[in-house]
Amino acid sequence: MHALACKRCRQGSGPMGDRYWQQYAHQSQIDKQKSKMAKITPRSKDFSEWYLDVIREADMADYAPVRGCIVVKPYGWSLYENMRDFLDRRFKETGHSNAAFPLFIPMSFLQKEAQHVKGFSPELAVVTIGGGETLEEPLAVRPTSETIIGSMYAQWVKSYRDLPVLINTWNSVVRWEKRTKPFLRTMEFYWQEGHTAHATHDEAMEEVLRMLGVYADHASEECAIPVIQGRKSISERFAGADNTFSIEAMMGDKKALQAGTSHDLGQNFARAFEIKYLDRDNTEKLCWTTSWGMSWRMLGAVIMTHGDDQGLRLPPKIAPVQVVIVPIYKNDTEKSSVFETAERIYKEIKAAGLRVKLDDREETPGFKFNDWEMRGVPVRVEIGPKDVANRAAALARRDIPGKAGKSFVPQDGLVQRVQVLLVEVHNSLLQQATAFRDANIHEVNTYEELKEVVEDGFALAPVADDPEVDAKIKEETRATNRNFPTQQAAGEWKCIITGKPVRERALFGKAY
RNA sequence: CGGGGCGUGGCGCAGUCCGGUUAGCGCGCUUGAUUUGGGUUCAAGAGGUCGGUGGUUCAAAUCCACUCGCCCCGACCA
């Protein structure tokens, strides 16, 4: 009946038809407004949808033809490169060298460390055919490189003089994930793995904590993300580690994201791969090894920590474009004078070593403002005819939206102003993220309190480091034990589950 | 892997219930004008084997089966 009526509307004239078209036209107007102004789902409406929208609109990544894999586009990759370069510099400063290890790992290697193979076998991709022939021994696509690197270290380390071995490798690994999300959990992900071997456990522990500190510094100094360093609970440890440490960050939806890990591997891999050295006392000893990693997941953290309804807000130090110049003009005469100024300013900013872009596209200024805001560019310089006449410029900062973040400044000293502003934007983003996080972490002393707090934030609760405790809390609240923060007040409390006396609080929250 | 939702030009959707002419709309794209200090406006264009496969039918975007993918919620993870 209804379809018939519509058909009649389409074909026919008369009152019904007119009403149909009127209604249709009205609907179109709404659609237009919607699609124009809301390319990005508001963060408050649907955080997950917002996250995906931002990645698409900021031109960071695209879905690959293979399930669970992404293509990182130039804008996203540039961000990754900047992050990587900062980290790499820090690794070099702490005495590490880069090297490369194979993508393929003999299955037997993974099986040498019992916990390790147990932990990783569910998510292994395994190559069984090569060159058209069935392989004698299947090759795992590396899910991480402890085993293959361990096997090499066993060959390289003979004497105490060979220690420590301090190597890092930038690569990608594959883990067969059930549920994926761009940057946060993809089947293949890019990261770095540091692998070190030491003569003593003390030295290894020093390394583990040093690198955890490097990650924490990188997160706050370069990514403007405050993190909580701590020790993972027994149930959250890396497969094959004696101890795992992590940095945990709070995202804009108050969920936790593990942004980096550092493992004390004890002598587990040394034993499995016979990484031994002859000590000064002429006895053969097992090494102590560590590993630590940080992945492109950190980009997800940057998006989810700083982003707003307009899109990305990038920390200046890692932003692919730190300053964008938008020229404003009405006609060719204005255009040439505006561009003359804009190009001069562009050169000055570039000469100062900043990543600057002059947007010479044939679009309206308003369009460009929104476009670059979506991409998270920290500072925008506007040059129009009035500015040319007044030797001035408009400066807008991405961390403060709208007119409040706009100022009008003289062209003289503009570069210095921009440099100062970039630092301010960084500080402001870090400050905003820290304030948000701190406002949403609460100390609790009972299980009831924890249940309430983790509904909308993190809870710091005294608990025993016991897998059963973690499991119970997780099952009943969906919140997980993120870590036992390194920095916390000393004291003695009762575990909120077991009632046993404990000396530490753990951080609980719903996590990615 | 379980529960739910969705696959229709690059993006967002209508049409599917109840099968029937050349499958529409907005954004985006191209061209030309117009505009330009916060997503200009107008005109003319280009662009779609309706996720895929098989079936039912004179006829399938529409019905049926299978399959693939995406999103959300649970079990596992950087």
- DSSP assignment of A230-287, as one string? EEPPGGG--TT-SEEEEEEEE-TTS-EEEEEEEEE-TTHHHHHHT-EEE-TTS-EEE-
Residue A115 counted as domain residue = no
C-alpha distances (whole Å) from A176 to each of A88, A179, A293 are 27, 9, 18
Of the ranges A29-33, A35-39, A434-438, the best mean pLDDT one: A434-438
Domain boundary among A306, A333, A355: A306
Nearest alpha carbon to residue A387 among A376, A397, A379, A395:
A395
Average pLDDT of the segment spanning A162-174: 97
Is A21 found in the same domain as A90? no
C-alpha distances (whole Å) from A442 to each of A76, A232, A277, A406 are 35, 19, 48, 36
Residue type at position A168: N
Res A19: pLDDT: 28
Is A392 found in the same domain as A488? no
The CATH number of the domain where A85 resides is what?
3.30.930.10
Res A38: pLDDT: 52
Confidence of residue A20 (pLDDT cuts 50, 70, 90): very low
Give Dmax over CA atoms of chain A in angstroms: 104
Residue A126 counted as domain residue = no
How far, in Å, CA of A63 to CA of A55, rounded? Answer: 11
Give, for A163, the enclosing helix (H) or strand (E). Answer: none
Nearest residue for B1, CA–C1' = A178
How far, in Å, CA of A52 to CA of A307, rounded? Answer: 12
Residue A133 counted as domain residue = no
Residue A65 counted as domain residue = yes
User: What's the pLDDT tens digit per position in A465-492?
Assistant: 999 999 999 988 989 999 999 999 999 9
Residue A147 counted as domain residue = no
- Residues A496 and A444: beta-carbon distance below 8 Å: yes
Q: CA-to-C1' distance for A185 and B45, Å?
A: 43
Res A57: pLDDT: 86
Range of the domain at A28: 2-55
CB atoms within 10 A of CB A241: 25
Is A426 found in the same domain as A495? no
Q: CA-to-C1' distance for A39 and B10, Å?
A: 14
Nearest nucleotide to A51 by CA–C1' distance?
B71
Domain boundary among A386, A408, A436: A436
Confidence of residue A8 (pLDDT cuts 50, 70, 90): very low
Is A481 found in the same domain as A410? no
Is A350 found in the same domain as A204? no
Is A216 found in the same domain as A203? yes
As given in the structure block, the two tokens for residue A434 are 């820290």
How far, in Å, CA of A507 to CA of A269, rounded? Answer: 29
User: What's the pLDDT tens digit per position in A46-55?
Assistant: 888 888 888 8
Is A66 found in the same domain as A203? yes
Q: CA-to-C1' distance for A253 and B67, Å?
A: 36
Q: How many domains does chain A have?
A: 4
Q: CA-to-C1' distance for A359 and B51, Å?
A: 38
Nearest residue for B72, CA–C1' = A48
For chain A, how big is the Rg over CA atoms in Å? 28
CB atoms within 10 A of CB A87: 22
The CATH number of the domain where A455 resides is what?
3.30.110.30
Is A347 found in the same domain as A494? no
Confidence of residue A31 (pLDDT cuts 50, 70, 90): very low
User: What's the pLDDT tens digit per position in A187-203?
Assistant: 899 999 999 999 999 99
Q: CA-to-C1' distance for A174 and B68, Å?
A: 22
Residue A123 counted as domain residue = no
- Residues A385 and A332: beta-carbon distance below 8 Å: no
Q: CA-to-C1' distance for A122 and B41, Å?
A: 58
Average pLDDT of the segment spanning A5-11: 25
Asked if residue A29 has pLDDT above 50, the reply is: no
Residue A136 counted as domain residue = no
Residue A130 counted as domain residue = no
Is A375 found in the same domain as A227? no
Is A223 found in the same domain as A299? yes
Give chain B positions with protein CB within 7 A: 1, 11-13, 15-18, 20-21, 25-28, 35-40, 68-78
Asked if residue A247 has pLDDT above 90, the reply is: yes
Res A17: pLDDT: 28
Is A284 found in the same domain as A193? yes
Residues in a beta bridge with A507: A460, A483
Is A93 found in the same domain as A19? no
Nearest nucleotide to A364 by CA–C1' distance?
B36
